[in-house]
Amino acid sequence: MRRYRIIAAVYTLLLFCGLLGSIFLSFGRFTAAYGAAEGTFGERTEAALRQSLPLRDPLRRWKTKLLMLGGGQEIDGIYFTGDGLIENLTVADETMAGQNLTALAAFCRQREASVVLLPSACATSRHLLPEAALLFDQEGWLQEAAAQLSADCGSVINGYPLLSEHESSRLFYRTDPRPTQLTGYLLYQALGETLDYIPYARERFSNTPLLYDCYGSLYTRWSYDKVRADVVTALLPLQDSRSYRMLHTAPEGATAAYSSLYPTEAAASANGMDCVLGGLSARIDVVAQGSRPRSLLLVGDENALCVIPYLALHYESITFIDVTLCSEAMLDGLAAEQYDRTLLLYGTPTLLNDDLTGGLGRLTGAAVPLTPVP
């Protein structure tokens, strides 16, 4: 009996020491997370605790499994669809959407730009979600937004009907909210007349896997072993003699250069989907030697990255800008640059929830103060 008591005491001591060590390690993670968080003291504390609590990941996985055993399909606005994840679109303040549309219209008038409005996965894959799911009416909102912008923009492409025709295809990744390269190709086809090129037929491309077993940002928030990994693929031209150079520029001026439009090394320590154009940056410059000697300014969010490799087949120089990430100096410099064509491409989550007014205003030459880039 004494032997078992000793073993139990040793086991309890080891468990206590492990828990104590975990708490000390968590304090370091809490300090780092609190420093990186934004908002009020309470909001920063809550965010830091969520990221640093001991056993956070195992507890989250158990919570997910218990929910699924009980017949649930949704956690924190993310739905499990059988083999993948789809995030519901939440709208914090609809007045922001109106202000953004006004800013887009003003930009179009000044730059003679065209616009693409892209729905998110919960709109195009509505058939995969529970019937009782409460969803924002993206179809109706995009239709109204396109009508509002049509008077000021060169052309307006509503992506909802375009993508809805292909709802059975993989338009968005299983584990990430970003559109796939198939969506990029569909946009490329739709933009031919607007951007003055004849799109290449699908038969001139090869569906080529780039990375296997990729898990995106949705999976990090909804870990569940029934979710299938993504395979990141690209539609590569069967015959392409062009050479490519790409330069990423961060708000503080740091740069990263690549010699491919699909740098798999960029995804080695990050999200696997970042192998498409190297992921998102404040500014991305693409030079395609061998394409027609003309330039394109593409202003948008992460959704725009999927179409750039196809546009590079027809434009020697493409500059992509995310105004929510750029510094004021970057935007002021761009305001003076000249391009043959200008395109705006945004997804509904950005248009409904992010503030684009300051960045677009500075691009049109209006010195609007920006919210500091985190």
DSSP letters for 175-193? SSSSB-HHHHHHHHHHTHH
- Bin 175: left if φ > 0, else alpha if -120 < ψ < 50, else beta: alpha
Which pLDDT value is given to residue 294? 95
Which pLDDT value is given to residue 97? 94
Strands 243-249 and 283-289: antiparallel
Q: Which residues of the chain have pLDDT under 70?
A: 1-72, 268-270, 336, 366-374
Q: Residue type for 167, please?
A: E
pLDDT in tens, 4-33: 455 445 444 544 454 445 444 455 555 655
Which pLDDT value is given to residue 7? 46
Name 158's bridge partners. 117
**Which candidate, 211, 210, 180, 214, places its Cα nearest to that of 310?**
180
Which pLDDT value is given to residue 17? 52
- Cα(233)–Cα(240) distance, integer angstroms: 17
Name 295's bridge partners. 317
pTM greater than the 0.75 cutoff:
yes
Classified as helix, coil or strand, 206 is strand
- 304 token code pair: 């725009």
